[in-house]
Amino acid sequence: MPIRDAILMELDQESQATKRVLECIPEDKLGWKPHQKSSSLGQLALHLAAAPGKVAAAAVQDRFEIPEIPQPEALSRQEILDTFSESLAAAKETIGQMDDAQLLSLWTGTKNGQAVMSVPRIGFIRAILLNHGYHHRGQLSVYLRLLDVPLPPVYGQTADENPWQQ
């Protein structure tokens, strides 16, 4: 099995859980922050939604200058869901075109021209496209819990929903 197929299968599986969490976002709380140093709910959700496509686009390049990442706030839940759908489709298309040789080749991230991360491209994809996304999905789940929004299952039942009992 080509490496990309394993990545695409995981991306498909995890995107279903991410979409369920994004669908729970209350539109009237997009500006809410759990702490003054935190991103708002709308900023965090839009960042999570846009990340797959942006990270996949960065992964294609052999050297990538890591930009300052703007944190715009979503204006609606639909904007977040549409962004996620478009971003996910772009990521799948990009990764679907990579072969094992490209995925195993060196990828370097730079900041102000200085290398800050040099790893096999698959390591960058795993760490940033996948694991970083799970991290933000977890943050988003905490935000929703603090807002008393019922949480959908991600890897199993939550205090609000059990997918094995209907």
Q: Name the band, by pLDDT with cuts 50, 70 and 90, for residue 166.
A: low
Q: What pLDDT does 165 receive?
A: 76
Convert the pLDDT of each residue in 29-50 to its tens digit: 999 999 999 999 999 999 999 9
Q: What is the pTM of this model?
A: 0.94
User: What confidence category does residue 157 fall into, taking pLDDT thresholds of 50, 70 and 90?
Assistant: confident
Domains of the chain in start order, with CATH, are 3-146 (1.20.120.450)
- Helix (H, G, I), strand (E, B), or coil: what is residue 40? coil
**pLDDT greater than 80 at residue 164:** no
Tokens, residue 57: 């686009």
Instruction: Evaluate the CA torsion angle 88, 92, 1, 134 in order and state its sign.
Output: negative
pLDDT (tens digit per residue) in 61-83: 999 999 988 899 999 999 999 99
Distances (CA, A) of 55 to 26, 50, 69, 145: 26, 9, 12, 28
Q: Per-residue confidence at 139, pLDDT binned at 50, 70, 90?
A: very high
pLDDT at 163 over 80: no
